[in-house]
Amino acid sequence: MTADLIQEYIKPGRRAHLVGIGGVSMCPLAEVLFGKGMIISGSDVQEGLAVRRLRDLGIPVTIGHQEETIQDAEMVIRTAAVHDDNPEVRAARRLGLPVFERAEVWGVIMRRYRNALCVAGTHGKTTTTSMCTHIAMAAQIDPTVMIGGTLPLLGTGHRVGAGETIILESCEYCNSFLSFFPTVAVILNIEADHLDFFKDLKDVQNSFYAFAKLVPEGGTVVANQEDPNTMEALQGKIENMMTFGLEQGDVHSTNLHWEKGMPSFDVVYKNETVSHVTLQVPGIHNVKNALAAAAAALALKLPISAIEEGLKAFRGAGRRFEYKGTIKGAKVFDDYAHHPSELKALLDMTSTLEYERVICAFQPHTYSRTKALFQDFAEVLRKPDVTYLAEIYAAREQNQVGISSEDLAKEIPGAKVISSLPLLAETLFSIARPGDLILTVGAGDIYQVGERLVRMGEN
């Protein structure tokens, strides 16, 4: 019933207000609806690149949540992180306006496509969705795309195509992806995360199992055979499953070798070598992501040549080991990693690149995640040669668990907490030297440090 109601509102000339419009999937949703001829407005808690982009398109965005901002709206769309006590949501309820969640709207948009490729997993979603997009573009199927980050190929995080395929990064937080209608569902991995919503790992696994069960007969679930949590979640109950892995699965790699930190390998499908892939992004985790993307492309019956061409052309997504510039002979990269496993994959990869020092400036993301995964964060943040910590990025939370970056620093020999992002940039600049790799890492606004660093180097 909700889907039918949403259909009535997604029409040219209708007015929608998006609460949290600067979010990684709300911003592209705003652009897609705007592109369909709807009149869009929005609000967010702070300025940022996404907000500036939307304003440049002519979409008004208010900073702060105020009841009067929805006065001209016919519907309100909110992120999963926006709750019923939000002033704009309260005002919408009082005025009798329908309030939909972002995922519900994406789900309705998705139903208009013959093929809906949804990429899920605790880690690697943005990169794998981006790789799938490169393959689809190489196959010239004119896809519609929603990615939780910027893809240089698109110049943004979304694309509106005229073809029969939609590709979406699909997040488990608040069970958002359960509003989707996938015909191909990719599960990259499952770990305990978003524990401000999920009770524990088992609860997360149950959510991913429900996601897999959304795939209809004739569709495909693409699952990581080498991830025990994924295999346990699916428990052999999914009939229409294609597995992948480095060495195991229906789709796996052989003859993996490295040249200047970049991997190349053969792709084996059902015991037959079907293609040879050369990547322009480093790291074993990206080999796994590429295999998942290749498996999804095979499920969609895309040409082998498109898999090879698309993956070879992929040079990373925004905020995924994104090169920002050079200062004083040191290379500066930015990365979105905000879970211990993502940090470990990033730092393991950088350790193979032969820099003299790896300097990591990490901004923990949310108090609940920092508390729940405290020891894992402490262990992995001992890996860099130099570790700096920014204050915890609160995002949607209040500090109700009584934790700080100082607590984390006490567990990491030599680590220091820097009180502000401008001061962190100045500190990094002061110690930078040729041969260094400087990483700014986290899902909050830590990326501003790398941008500031590069500007300092230009002056």
Question: Residues 167, 152, 176, CA angle at the centre, nearest 5°?
Answer: 35
Helices (H), 16-154: 26-35, 49-56, 87-95, 102-110, 125-138
> Over the Cα atoms of the chain, what is R_g?
22
Structure tokens at 165: 């395929």
Q: Are 28 and 158 in contact (CB under 8 A)?
A: yes
Let me know if 125 is exposed, middle or buried by CB neighbors in 10 A (0-12, 13-18, 19+): buried
Residue 47 DSSP SS3: coil
Query: Residue 193 and residue 125: Cα distance in Å, rounded?
Result: 14
Q: Are 118 and 112 in contact (CB under 8 A)?
A: no
Amino acid sitting at position 177: F
Structure tokens at 45: 């808690």
Please tell me which residue in 69, 125, 172, 344 is annotated as part of the active site.
Answer: 125
Give bridge partners of residue 145 from the DSSP assignment. 159, 167
Q: Are 264 and 276 in contact (CB under 8 A)?
A: yes
Those residues whose C-beta lies under 8 Å from the C-beta of residue 308, and which sit 6 or more positions away, are 275, 276, 277
| Cα 187 versus chain centre, distance | 14
Please tell me which residue in 69, 126, 133, 150 is annotated as part of the active site.
Answer: 126
Please tell me which residue in 31, 101, 104, 169 is annotated as part of the active site.
Answer: 169
Let me know if 37 is exposed, middle or buried by CB neighbors in 10 A (0-12, 13-18, 19+): exposed
Structure tokens at 50: 């996404």
Those residues whose C-beta lies under 8 Å from the C-beta of residue 450, and which sit 6 or more positions away, are 324, 325, 332, 333, 334, 438, 440
Between β-strands 241-245 and 220-224, what pairing exists: parallel, antiparallel or unpaired? parallel
User: SS3 breakdown of the chain: % helix, strand, coil, rounded to 5?
Assistant: 35, 25, 40
- Name the helix (H) or strand (E) containing 332: strand 330-335
- Note if 126 is an active site residue: yes
Q: Within 13 Å of residue 82, how many CA atoms lie on the same side as its CB? A: 26
Q: What amino acid positions are annotated as catalytic residues?
A: 125-126, 169
